[in-house]
Structure 1
Amino acid sequence: MRLARLLACPAGVSLTYFALAAASVTFARFTGGVAMVWIASAMLAGRLLHLPEHRWTPWLVGSAVASALATGLWGFGWAAAVPLAVINIFEAASAAVIWRRITKAFWPYETLEWVASFYIGIVLTVPLLSGAAGAFTAWVIYDQPVIDNFTRWIIGHSLGLLACLPVFHFIYGRLGRGRSFLPPREMLPQATLIVGAFVLVTVTVFALDMRALLVFPLIYLVVCAATQPSAILTLLPVLLMLIGGVMTFSGRGPIAAMDWSMGDRLQFFQLYVAVTVLTALPLQCERAKRVLELRRMKARIAELESQRPAA
């Protein structure tokens, strides 16, 4: 599939990185500091996961140029463009390296250990290191407050990795092989029912000002994590971010009604999405483990059947 490979090639990933980074520094720098929402690192890390490390250079260089352009044109300016680009690329590459190490060590038989390592290594440690470097850079070049930028960076980048890295891992796993990440044709009736109901629930929740209703998309996604394949489940966090994010940014829904600044409301929404993924991820990992074990069991039974002597 030509479009899939185009999206996964260095040029396609760099353009996607530029779009995500430009959107973040344009619409999510509410206090004039670092962006309070950041998804680009999760996108790049999701692509790197499906490439041998010795082939990473074109994707890293292209995304670094994209990051520098976004920062120079719409962010802090050209003085900080290159240092922040290096920090952002380091963050994405570190997340990909840690994912590979913990997957090699724990997957698929120790899924709880894998999930805990994902939270501690990727979601916590990597943003702490990149956040310290980013806040220090902003302080040295522009005399920006260190603690404020450090806090905003950690929240935005940590929640971005938590909510979006598993999604981009699945998407680029399909695109890198020239396949669509959408559900296959034989799964379309089931996918239409599940996704359509989720869209209806999410739109209803974010059209009202009742915060208690926010639990319903979370419960829906958790149930789907335990029962639905990845091709369907991956669409749900994306739809939640698109529908909920647009409605919150436009001033509608339970989060937009909070008496906070727009930046704090968007970070709370990002936290809401991250908690939803945080709750569903262990169930999806356990389901994937059981599917793999069932396939191996069937393959072993078929092998034994083939070796049985004829009566």
Structure 2
Amino acid sequence: MRSARLLAGPVGVSLTYFVLAAAAVTFGRFTGGVAMAWMASAMLAGRLLHLPRRRWTPWVIGCILASTVATGFLGLGWLAAVPFALINVAEAGAAALLWQRITRSFWPHDTLEWVASFYIGIGLMVPLLSGAAATFFAWVLLDQPLVENFSRWIIGHALGFLACLPVFHFIYGRLGRGKSFLPPSSMRPLATLVVATFMVLTVAVFLLDMRALLVFPMIYLVVSAATLPGAIVTLLPLLLILIGGGLTVSGYGPIAQMDLPAGDRLQFFQLYVGVTVLAALPLSCERTKRLVELRKMRSRIAELERERPQY
């Protein structure tokens, strides 16, 4: 598909990065400092991890320009635009390199080690290092508070990686090969049923001011991750972000009614999505591992059948 390759190309990724960065700095800077929700790094990392390092340059340069424009016009201003662009893109590159490294080391046979490395390396260490650099420059150049910006950055970027990087990994894995990330036609009836049910459930939960109901989208996604193909499961976190996040920002649902500042409510929602994905990710990885082993077993059995003497 030509459109798929365009979306996965440098121009498509750079435009997507700009949209995500512009939305974050426009609607996510409740304290006037760094954005409190950030998905752009996860998006770029999701594309880079499917490319060899020698081919990264067009995507990296395009996203540096996109980040610079977003920060300069809508964020902290032009003085901080270039340093922040370099830090954000370097953060995405580090996450992509770590993903490639842990995948080579542990996937698909050691899924527990892979998940632990993902949590610690990409979800914790990368945001800590990038947050230290970003808050230092914000303090030196703009006299922004160190501790407050550091905590906001770590939470926003860590949860962005944990909640969104597996989703973007799947999406760009398909788009980079010229395929749609939507389920194939053979799965459409099942996908329609699963997605429609999840949408109805999510809308109902986020329209009612009952915090206990937040557990039901989480349970639904966890069960789906353990039983359904990745092409279907990948759509569910996106729907949770779009529907739940949209209703929360609009003032509906249990999170919007919390007695917290608007920025803290947004990060609580991001934490909710992150915990939901974290709960589902190990099950999805284990299911994928078993499918890989089953395919290898069937291939070996077929090979033995061909080699068996015929009498």
Distance 2:126 2:111 in 1: 21
Counterpart of 1:112, as a letter, is: L
Distance 1:233 1:226 in 2: 9
Distance 2:5 2:100 in 1: 22
Distance 1:303 1:204 in 2: 51
Counterpart of 1:4, as a letter, is: A
Give the deviation of 1:250 after TM superposition. 0.3
Counterpart of 1:277, as a letter, is: V
Counterpart of 1:164, as a letter, is: C
Distance 2:37 2:102 in 1: 26
Q: 1:266 maps to which residue?
A: 266
Q: 2:221 maps to which residue?
A: 221
- Alignment gaps of 5+ in structure 2: none
Q: 1:68 maps to which residue?
A: 68
Residue 133 of structure 2 corresponds to residue 156 of structure 1: no
Equivalence map 1:291-306=2 (5 Å): 291-306=291-306
Distance 1:165 1:158 in 2: 10
Give the deviation of 1:310 after TM superposition. 1.1
Q: 1:77 maps to which residue?
A: 77
The CA deviation string for residues 49-93 of structure 1, in whole angstroms up to 9 with x for no partner, is 111111001000100100000000000000000000000011000
Residue 23 of structure 2 corresponds to residue 10 of structure 1: no
Q: Alignment length, in residue pairs?
A: 311
> How does the TM-score come out when normalised to structure 1?
1.00
CA-atom RMSD in angstroms:
0.4
Distance 2:201 2:306 in 1: 49
Q: 2:41 maps to which residue?
A: 41
Aligned identity (percent) is 72
Counterpart of 1:210, as a letter, is: M
Counterpart of 2:96, as a letter, is: A
Distance 1:163 1:294 in 2: 28
Distance 2:175 2:109 in 1: 26
The CA deviation string for residues 197-248 of structure 1, in whole angstroms up to 9 with x for no partner, is 1001100000100000000000000000100000000000000000000000
Distance 2:251 2:133 in 1: 33
The CA deviation string for residues 131-168 of structure 1, in whole angstroms up to 9 with x for no partner, is 00010011001100000000000000000000000000
Q: 1:176 maps to which residue?
A: 176
Distance 1:187 1:291 in 2: 17
Give the deviation of 1:308 after TM superposition. 1.0
Q: 2:30 maps to which residue?
A: 30
Give the deviation of 1:309 after TM superposition. 1.2
Q: 2:186 maps to which residue?
A: 186
Counterpart of 2:258, as a letter, is: M
Counterpart of 1:41, as a letter, is: S
Q: 1:20 maps to which residue?
A: 20
Q: 1:207 maps to which residue?
A: 207
